[in-house]
Structure 1
Amino acid sequence: MVLSRSFVAIAAAIVLLPSIPLGHAQATSAASQSNPAQHQRVQQLIQNVEKAYENGVANYRDGHLSAAKSNFDYAVDQMLTSGIPIKSDADLSAEFDRIVDAVNTLEMDSLKQGNGFAGTAEPTPAEAAEQATFSVDPAVVAQAQEALKTTQSDLPLVLNDYVASFITFYTKSRVGHGTIVASLQRAGRYREMIEKVLKEEGLPQDLIYLAFAESSFRPQALNAGSGAGGMWQFMPFGVYGLSRTGWYDERFDPEKATRAYARLIKANYAQLGDWYLAIAAYNWGAGAVQRAVQRTGYADFWELYRRNNLPAQTKNYVPEIIAVALIAKNPKQYGLEDIQPDPPLLMDTVKTDYSVDLRLVADITGAPVQEITGLNPSLLRMATPPDESYDLHLPAGTLDLFQKEIAEIPEDKRRYWRFHKLASGETLEEVARAYHVSAAEIATANQLTSTDDVSNLEALVIPVAPATAPALRTALYHARRGDSLVTVADRFGVTVDQLKRWNRLKTKAVPVGRGLYVAEPANISSSVSRSSRGRASTGAARRATTRTSGKASRHAVKSTGNAKARASQAKPAQHRARKS
């Protein structure tokens, strides 16, 4: 990616923003004054944060946005996971606000250039259709006219050449047909929820098909051009009633985003009085549509279309949705009767006010990590936010089990510790090697001794220490005895496929001592010497975790009170349930 001059200028200007002088705090808190050891710890933390941030700016200037994102994630993660309440120390609070504000500024400019710090985005069905060239098939028109006679809909459905052209694309072209098949399959996961929300808001049920054009029913869809995200493609800024913090982005929460969509489309209809205009306004904006109506005197979408008073994308938007509704409601006529929609997502929900790693949730519920992340697509850091209420979704039927087992783990350890179900014949030493902890540590956490027989236990709590991030320059981990790509990937919160790609490996076996990149190496030209190549640091966030609207990020972390402090004193877990 080639950066614009303004892009580089902003990065340079941010480096010059006033920072906290290392070793000389501008606003030393009373707590730091009375606790020299704490003050020294805070200053060392700030120094480490500054190094990570400066590496991020350097990568940002060079156009290595993925590496910059990892650096920025690591800078913020160090403060969030330090164990020091950010708001309780003036130095650390000021540093947190400065870093978050600086990264937000960089990302806002990056969004103008493309898609922020996020990776390459998959095109939406609407974008795919825009690139296609297709004509109206008379046979398709005749077929659609017959279908329309018996189609029941709570939206006004019409058939004209504009609509027919999209029916042709989605039923006759390979790309179009594949898109609608995948979308209608995926829609099964969310249809029941969306229809429930639309009904509660008093809206037509067939407004569900806007999700096809916007995202193909993908909760984490991203638009490469605008930065819009989620099933309903909300922008990263704007007043939609959706929160964004360093821990979660509610644009990617299917139900909350659907609520926001329903409110917005309802407001569009209240303003414009016509469903086609309301749908066009969802794409172009209610104010823009209102001005087009006032300018022409026609409150009619098709008249605005014919008079060329709509942008090209909005012209396509309404007929595409009508076409998809006609196809979806008449699957047999379009050869789609064999489509099996995905089953609805069924889940239990528990409110958390502590940070818990999704891998620990997977351990306890017995579900794959991918299933847990799929149930919680709005989480950005593979963990729930600390000190804030959050609705954590669990596989259906696992709520009681989760609440029982999570109670065994101290609250402040739930972001790091794991839960291991013992296999037949498995020993304490074998478990300890798998998690790179000592048998004595596991025994203490479970109120055992290192010589106790664990054959009659069902599971153990594993006191895994917070993973130490590799050096920013290398992100290199040296394999130990008993390591495999699976255990290394689990330890550093990445996937086996990522490790194989970053290290050009073909098998999962890892020789002892082998150096492994556990973060994505910076994408630097081969003309740069190996010794000067930087490597992206590991970070817990899956997405751009530090971005928020305005100053909202300053409230992402709240100071912990005495109750939290008491809870942070690690208590050994109770004995695990005995096998019957």
Structure 2
Amino acid sequence: MPLHLQKSRLFAAIVLLCCIAPPALAQRVSARDKAAAEVLVQQMAAAESRYRQAVVLVANGDPKGTAESNAALEDMEDAVDACARQRGCPLSDLLATFKRLLKAGVDARTADLEEDPGDEGLLEADPALAADVPEAMRAARLLGDDSRHGFDRMVRFNPAIQAGIRRWLTDMRPQLMTSYENYQAMRHLMWPEFERRGLPEALLFGILAKESNGRVHSVSRAGAGGPMQFMPATGRRFGLGPDGTGFDTRYDPRSAAEASATYLNERLRELNDDMELSLAGYNGGEGRALRVHRSSGGTGFWNASVYDQFPAETRDYVPMVIAAAWIFLHPRQYGVSFPKVDAQPAPLKLSRPASIYELTVCLGNTGNRDGYMRTLRNLNPRYEAETWIPAGTVLAATTRIAGLYHRHCESGARAELAHALVTADVNAAIVRDGPAGSVAVGEVTPLPGVATTIATEQPRPAAPKAQQARGYRVAAGDTLGRIAQRHGCELKTLARANGLKAPGYAVRQGQQLRLEGCRR
């Protein structure tokens, strides 16, 4: 069955669910009924997962995709039918499953529209489906409350916010768009952590845009790292830091979002749900925010007696986060058209060894002006861009990236070209002339099988001159592993020469390193 007919069935299922009265929920539910209902919920979740995987197959041109998606949809319909007859079965949970799939389908169909139709245009984006199901509009209205704009009621919209919006829409518009593109690729990892903790998505986007522009490997001058910019000590309080393999989980999008949401809720509880003051604590220190809050008797952030106690960086940070969140919620009001991002997650199994650099060259930039290096790095933060990743490794990617990989990078001219480009050695371009002649320096009697030297005429090689270690100053974003690869160093030797401890081998920007034992 074609996908557009599958969407019609999704609409029909939604209408059916909205019209079903759930009297069983008001009755006592036995343990047996609860167990049976839980089985149906699990069946629905498994069918949803199968359907999403089938959509990936369809996007990659795999003929099995259509059959798999039809079978998964039938399983969902069976689960709905059984749930309607099962006492204690949570129909609202099944409704949420259909809503997610419907929204994902509509987003895909509207990807080429010049303007985002928004939530109010959900059905208008596909009038054929609305015609198929007369009550579809009423069903959509029953899909639940829209909490997207809860953030509006949590902050004050004042001239400082307006000035922040002006900055985002003028000099900083490129950073805003980049932040949005990066966020969309990671949204499925980060947003659920905020949603589970009752925090608005706009807040997540605002912090991400201001802190890192959505670059997971971002590191500040002060040492804050990751997409949500946790300092090492604060990160450790919330479970972030070296995980035993040398990877710092501050750079993991899901872990960083979970820690950020937990941290913000902690601040909100301490500061009487004052969002501005909580953001000030996020940037300027939780201790300072709490002291100011207590000394001011709970006066808001915008009161001069509070505002003036924070450093200039924090006074700038708070309105800029809110301004980015406000644009995220109200793009049309400001003439903003965010980029359309094909961010449907999909696994990518490497059929041959590759680095993220090589994949970036091979994939090209079809559908994305800047190519796919940032997306691959954000979704696979454990890998440095130049690190060779073994064949058979499964990377996190998107359906578009997976499709381009199968088309261009498994084999063929572009794959070979990309490999040649990333393995090119600048030194191979240098032509070095040999000696013009030879000079006689006296009688030398060679011993069989033993090299002699001109300087000693002894049957043993002269000790080579000790190689002097060069110096290197750590740049922004550098890691010890990246420096070692760039200069041909053995990682442990380099770490030992500079007194760096495993497993983190932490370096800081501006630090002077001795490149001991390095070949380049």
Higher relative contact order (CA 8 A, sep 6+): 1
Same fold (TM over 0.5): no
Greater helix fraction, Structure 1 or Structure 2: 2
TM-score relative to the length of structure 1: 0.40
TM-score relative to the length of structure 2: 0.45
- Higher Rg of the two aligned structures: 2
